[in-house]
Amino acid sequence: MASNKAIEVKGISKSYGAVKALDHVSLEVRQGEIFGLIGPDGAGKTTLFKILVTLLNADEGSALVDGLDIVKDYRAIRSRVGYMPGKFSLYPDLTIEENMEFFATLFGVTVEQNYDLVAPIYKQIEPFKKRRAGRLSGGMKQKLALSCALIHKPSVLFLDEPTTGVDAVSRSEFWDMLHNLREQGLSILVSTPYMDEASRCDRIALCNTGHILDIDSPQHMVEKFDGNLYGIKAHDMYALLKDLRNSPEIANCYTAGEYHHLLAKQGFDPDKLRQNLLAQGHAQVEIKTITPDIEDVFIKLLSNEQH
């Protein structure tokens, strides 16, 4: 039984009719780490969560959560995991305090019993405890939902898109909270569609349409990025993009904000490209080498796959 794995997923598949939501997904979450499941809508994140918290049965494959089998021991798993579904699942007509008490009761504990664990989060919203959950701001709802998911001191925490639709400040605060929880020994599986949150995880799985593209630490994933990436900008960004697409020495090129990103082929010469572009009538051309971020990694993995 003793295992250093908080979650072990082996070849899980799940279909809804003709749609394959999950296609032989395998991954491991170590004790005490924050593992990020990163991918767009339709990647199968929510389905995997529901299978792991024993709400859905997988068509194929097996998984262990906290060393327990998700099929055989599902009842035991239910008292050990904390689960925060995609939408903040709170009762809008109950107050902060009533929500907390109710969720504590659900797991046969009291709020006082595990107050220490939730205190750093709950204290921020406690002054408003008589306010109904429906009248809270997004950030406060998020904190309340997390407090409710933690109140029974779970050993593994499942957070399904906890930061979706929440502004950048609240998102950043939320990740700080998760890091505090990890310090207390909790293992956390968290999903997000925001690629920039990858760096806040210990390890991540990039996933798309039901399968995993790669699993690694975010740093290592960026380090092993194979190819030369440049940032490029000019006065007319749209015309620039069109012209870059016609350059033979460029493998891929896409918008990325202030600079377009371009992935160069072998023998690419930035100076030559600048000359060409200026000759084509572009002004204020600027090219620089850049280190890829997770989005670049994702795009590369995805376009490799599509070819």
Partner 1 sequence: MTGFLKFVKKETLHIVRDSRTMLIALLMPVVQILLFGFAISTEVNNVNVAVVVPKWDEQIRQSVNKLSANPYITYKGDINEREIDQYLRSGKVDAIVVFAHDFDRLMAQWKQHGHGKAAMQLVMDASNTNTAQAGAGYLNNILAGELMQSNALVETHMLFNPQMKSAFNFVPGIMGMIFILICAMLTSVAIVREKETGTMDVLLVSPVRPLTIILAKMTPYFILSCINLTTILLLARFVLGIPMTGNLGSIIIVSIVYLMLSLALGLLISTIAKQQIVALLISAAVMLMPIVMLSGMMFPIENMPAVLKPVSAIVPARWYIDAMRRLMIQGASFSLILKDFIILVVMTIALLAIALKNFNDKLE
Partner 2 sequence: MSSTDYIIQVKDLTKQFGAFTAVDHITFEVHRGEIFGFLGANGAGKTTAMRMLCGLSYPTSGSGTVAGFDVVKQGEKIKRHIGYMSQRFSLYDDLTVMENMELFGGIYGVKSRDLKDRATALLQKLDFSEERDTLVSALPLGWKQKLAFAVATLHRPEIVFLDEPTGGVDPITRRQFWEMIYQAANEGTTIFVTTHYMDEAEYCNRISMMVDGKIKALDTPAQLKKTFNATSMDEVFRILARDAKRNT
To the nearest whole angstrom, how small is the minimum distance from the Cβ of residue 93 to partner 1? 4
Partner in contact with 193, chosen from partner 1, partner 2, none, beta carbon below 5 to 8 Å by kind = partner 2
Strands 81-84 and 156-159: parallel
Q: Kindly state whether residue 75 participates in binding partner 1, applying the rule CB under 8 A.
A: yes
Q: Kindly state whether residue 103 participates in binding partner 1, applying the rule CB under 8 A.
A: yes
Query: Among residues 51 and 177, whose Cβ is nearest to partner 1?
Result: 51
Return the range that interacts with partner 1 (CB under 8 A); candidates 27-35, 106-114, 231-239, 276-284.
106-114
Rg for the chain, CA atoms, rounded: 23
Partner in contact with 94, chosen from partner 2, partner 1, none, beta carbon below 5 to 8 Å by kind = partner 1
Q: Kindly state whether residue 72 participates in binding partner 1, applying the rule CB under 8 A.
A: no
Query: Among residues 31 and 124, whose Cβ is nearest to partner 2?
Result: 124
Residues 26, 30, 32, 102: which binds partner 1 (CB under 8 A)?
Answer: 102
C-alpha span between 249 and 241 (Å, rounded)? 14
Return all residues near 306 (Cβ < 8 A) that are at least 6 apart: none
Give the helix ranges, DSSP H, for 166-260. 168-183, 218-223, 237-245
Q: How many CA atoms lie within 13 A of 68 on its CB side?
A: 18
Q: Kindly state whether residue 56 participates in binding partner 1, applying the rule CB under 8 A.
A: yes
Partner in contact with 251, chosen from partner 1, partner 2, none, beta carbon below 5 to 8 Å by kind = none
Return the range that interacts with partner 1 (CB under 8 A); candidates 79-87, 164-172, 218-226, 246-254.
79-87
Q: Give backbone dihedrals phi and psi of 228, rounded to 5 degrees, phi first.
A: -95, 125
Query: Among residues 93 and 196, whose Cβ is nearest to partner 2?
Result: 196
C-alpha span between 129 and 266 (Å, rounded)? 61
Q: Kindly state whether residue 90 participates in binding partner 1, applying the rule CB under 8 A.
A: yes
Give the residues lining the site for partner 2 (CB under 8 A): 39-43, 124-125, 128, 137-140, 164-170, 172, 193-196, 208, 236-239, 241, 254-258, 295, 298-299, 302-303
Return all residues near 142 (Cβ < 8 A) that are at least 6 apart: 88, 162, 163, 166, 170, 174
Q: Kindly state whether residue 182 participates in binding partner 1, applying the rule CB under 8 A.
A: no
Strand partners, 72: none
Q: How many residues bind partner 1 (CB under 8 A)?
A: 31
Question: How open is the CA angle 234-228-270, to the nearest 5 degrees?
Answer: 45
Residue 176 identity:
D
Q: Kindly state whether residue 79 participates in binding partner 1, applying the rule CB under 8 A.
A: yes
Partner in contact with 81, chosen from partner 1, partner 2, none, beta carbon below 5 to 8 Å by kind = partner 1
Q: Kindly state whether residue 148 participates in binding partner 1, applying the rule CB under 8 A.
A: yes
Partner in contact with 300, chosen from partner 2, partner 1, none, beta carbon below 5 to 8 Å by kind = none
User: Quick one: which of 253, 212, 213 has its CA closest to 233?
Assistant: 253
Return all residues near 172 (Cβ < 8 A) that are at least 6 apart: none
- Confirm if 95 and 130 have CB atoms less than 8 A apart: yes
Give, rounded to a whole angstrom, the gap between the first and last alpha carbons of the chain: 43
Partner in contact with 239, chosen from partner 1, partner 2, none, beta carbon below 5 to 8 Å by kind = partner 2
Quick one: DSSP state of residue 132? B
Chain contacts with partner 1 (rule: CB under 8 A): 50, 53-57, 75, 78-79, 81, 83-87, 89-94, 98, 101-103, 105-108, 148-149
